[in-house]
């Protein structure tokens, strides 16, 4: 979980995407590639409580996985 108080959603999205790309380029045993999927949601666009924002981020995460993994998705509730 990455929390960036006061950061605009596009900045948060770009930071998450940068993290994803850096992990993708890490060396892994056996020449394998490490990838991650990320879901991004922001307050108050995606919800007004921590639970609502976390749920929106989780939905975005599952959308990233459904899209083929190794990507970052911004919550559609934005």
Output the pLDDT for position 57: 97
Q: What pLDDT does residue 78 have? A: 64
Going residue by residue through the chain (78 aa), what tens digit of pLDDT does each one get? 899 999 999 999 999 999 999 999 999 999 889 999 999 999 999 999 999 999 999 999 999 999 999 999 999 976
pLDDT of residue 77: 76
pLDDT at residue 31 in the model = 87
Q: How many CB atoms lie within 10 A of CB 24?
A: 13
Pick from 62, 29, 58, 26: nearest CA to 41:
58
pLDDT for res 64: 97
Q: Which of 69, 17, 22 is nearest to 40 (CA)?
A: 17
């Amino acid at each position: 979980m990455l929390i960036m108080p006061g950061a605009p959603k596009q900045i948060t999205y770009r930071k998450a995407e940068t993290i994803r790309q850096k992990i993708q380029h890490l060396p892994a045993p056996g020449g394998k590639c490490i990838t991650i999927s990320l879901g991004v949601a922001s307050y108050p666009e995606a919800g007004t409580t921590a639970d609502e924002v976390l749920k929106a981020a989780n939905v975005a995460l599952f959308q990233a996985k459904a899209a083929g993994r190794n990507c970052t998705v911004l919550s559609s509730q934005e």
